């Protein structure tokens, strides 16, 4: 497994991370997204997680319908609950759950204190990312839970980068 990413500590580090994630969201737009794409992306994520020995749950949804869900050994039902909370945050804010939390943090706030949303329903922690289709917009979410938030986010981004590269190569 790769070494854990250090959590940003200063407003400058948080701002730089926000900028990086906003760039990821601009770059990682797919040409389309159907059930087969969900299968390919989900299995890619599972294989990446297995390769790292990561005890995660992987979940992919399109328009509210769960298209892929897999729990690797070492994960638990708690990870399923985190997936739901992080996915709801992406659906509500239209961007990655990690980015939502960082936007509160850069102001010196926490999502839990300032969002006025139920923390049992929403979580602004890394690991859920919008599935965005070029020319259409956000159509769903891809989420991982089981690692520290920066690692959950990294795993999703790596899988999306690989999935997008494969889609471009086959076009």
In order, the DSSP letters of 70-106 are EE-TT--HHHHHHHHHHHHHHHHHSS-HHHHHHHHHT
Residue 24 β-bridge partners? none
Q: What is the pLDDT of residue 13?
A: 93
Whether 127 and 82 have beta carbons less than 8 Å apart is answered as yes
Whether 127 and 152 have beta carbons less than 8 Å apart is answered as yes
Radius of gyration of the chain (CA): 15
Burial class (CB in 10 A: 0-12, 13-18, 19+), 170: exposed
Q: What is the pLDDT of residue 8?
A: 65
Q: What is the pLDDT of residue 167?
A: 87
Residue extents of the structural domains in the chain: 11-170
Interior angle at CA 155, CA 149 and CA 158, nearest 5: 135
Residue 128 β-bridge partners? 143
Q: What is the pLDDT of residue 9?
A: 75
Whole-angstrom distance, CA of residue 76 vs CA of residue 72: 9
Position of tokens 């889609």?
167
The reply to whether CATH 3.30.450.150 applies to domain 11-170 is yes
Could you tell me how many helices (H) and strands (E) the chain has, helices first?
A: 6, 5
Residue 140 β-bridge partners? 62, 131
Whether 156 and 140 have beta carbons less than 8 Å apart is answered as no
Which segments in the chain show pLDDT lower than 70? 1-8
Q: What is the pLDDT of residue 100?
A: 98
Q: What is the pLDDT of residue 170?
A: 82
């Amino acid at each position: 497994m790769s070494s854990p990413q250090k959590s940003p500590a200063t407003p400058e580090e948080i701002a730089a991370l926000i900028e990086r994630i906003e760039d990821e969201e601009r770059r990682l737009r797919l040409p389309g997204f159907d059930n087969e794409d969900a299968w390919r992306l989900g299995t890619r994520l599972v294989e990446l997680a297995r390769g790292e020995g990561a005890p995660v749950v992987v979940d992919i949804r399109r328009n509210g319908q769960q298209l892929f869900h897999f729990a690797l050994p070492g994960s638990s039902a708690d990870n399923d609950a985190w997936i739901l909370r992080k996915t709801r945050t992406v659906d509500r804010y239209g961007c990655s759950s990690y980015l939502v939390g960082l936007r509160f943090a850069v102001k010196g706030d926490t999502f839990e204190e300032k969002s006025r949303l139920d923390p049992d329903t929403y979580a602004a922690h890394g690991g859920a990312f919008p599935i965005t289709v070029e020319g259409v917009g956000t159509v769903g979410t891809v989420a991982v839970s089981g690692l520290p938030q920066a690692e959950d986010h990294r795993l999703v981004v790596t899988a999306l980068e690989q999935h997008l590269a494969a889609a471009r190569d086959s076009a």
